[in-house]
Amino acid sequence: KAGVTQTPRYLIKTRGQQVTLSCSPISGHRSVSWYQQTPGQGLQFLFEYFSETQRNKGNFPGRFSGRQFSNSRSEMNVSTLELGDSALYLCASSFGRTNTGELFFGEGSRLTVL
Amino acid sequence: SQELEQSPQSLIVQEGKNLTINCTSSKTLYGLYWYKQKYGEGLIFLMMLQKGGEEKSHEKITAKLDEKKQQSSLHITASQPSHAGIYLCGAEGGSEKLVFGKGTKLTVNP
């Protein structure tokens, strides 16, 4: 069974640009959640999607957005990039919303903003 | 909102030594999860604890949940270089999928 796939793995952007990250969950999983990981703040919840609907959203500005497609694949977008957006962005999938804890993580997309 | 504090922040041990990592919650724990992360990679699920007093083991790793203390501990027996990484505890955070501690970085020297 293929794991959670995130693309791209690494990317470098400059301030003011925008970026789109992609996440393909494990086949059959309908819930996708996104996290931002930085050395200072640790892992912080961005948002969760289930059956194409955003279910929960963390405390991030509106520049951070996402969506989920009918095949459960998800994308997140960050517009008007700031230096502080440099982070490892992790996507996790689970079968349903009730399985809150056992998340299956991708290897992440490391974003560097110059 | 719920916060999880892990201690120690980092740990360096000699191969073969035992060690313990703690995770303390600011609120009542209804479920506590332990994950391991290799540097710059995704998290790997280790185990889930749901009941006070519950204890689970996987190979040489044992986790316990003390609901009264709102605390969980992760114990590694006879550590090996393969145990090195960042250990994170997570808990159901209400509206958030999971709230995580900041992690404990473990280094095991051969």
**DSSP letter for each residue of A26-57:** PTT--EEEEEEEETTTEEEEEEEEETTEEEEE
- Return phi, psi of residue A20, to 5°: -125, 130
d(CA A45, CA B92): 12
Q: What is the pLDDT of residue B69?
A: 80
Q: What is the pLDDT of residue B108?
A: 97
Q: Indicate the residue of B41, B98, B101 with minimum beta-carbon distance to A100.
A: B98
Which residues of chain B does A41 touch, with a Cβ-Cβ cutoff of 8 Å? 102
pLDDT mean over A84-96: 93
- Return phi, psi of residue A113, to 5°: -110, 120
Q: What is the pLDDT of residue B51?
A: 79
For the record, the structure tokens of A97 come out as 């919303």
B90 in A contact zone (CB under 8 Å): yes
Q: What is the pLDDT of residue A97?
A: 67
Q: What is the pLDDT of residue B17?
A: 97
Contacts of B68 (CB under 8 A, 6+ apart): B52
B88 in A contact zone (CB under 8 Å): yes
Instruction: Give the residue among B76, B65, B66, B63 at the shortest CA–CA distance from B106.
Output: B76
Q: How far is B19 from chain A (nearest CA, A)?
A: 22
Which residues of chain B does A42 touch, with a Cβ-Cβ cutoff of 8 Å? 88, 100-103
For the record, the structure tokens of B58 come out as 């996987």
Q: What is the pLDDT of residue B89?
A: 96
**CB within 8 Å: A56 and B95:** yes
- Mean pLDDT for back-to-back runs of 10 residues, chain B (110 residues): 92 97 89 90 90 87 90 96 96 78 96
pLDDT at A107 over 80: yes
Q: What is the pLDDT of residue A46?
A: 95
Please give the radius of gyration of chain B, using alpha carbons only, rounded to the nearest integer.
13
Distances (CA, A) of B82 to B15, B33, B89: 10, 20, 19
**CB within 8 Å: B92 and A101:** yes
Question: What's the length of chain B?
Answer: 110
Q: A110: which strand partners?
A: A10, A88
Q: Indicate the residue of A56, A92, A107 with minimum beta-carbon distance to B96.
A: A56
pLDDT at A59 over 70: yes
pLDDT at A99 over 60: no
Helices vs. strands in chain B: H and E counts, helices first: 0, 11
Q: How far is B29 from chain A (nearest CA, A)?
A: 13
Q: What is the pLDDT of residue B40?
A: 79
Q: How far is B78 from chain A (nearest CA, A)?
A: 26
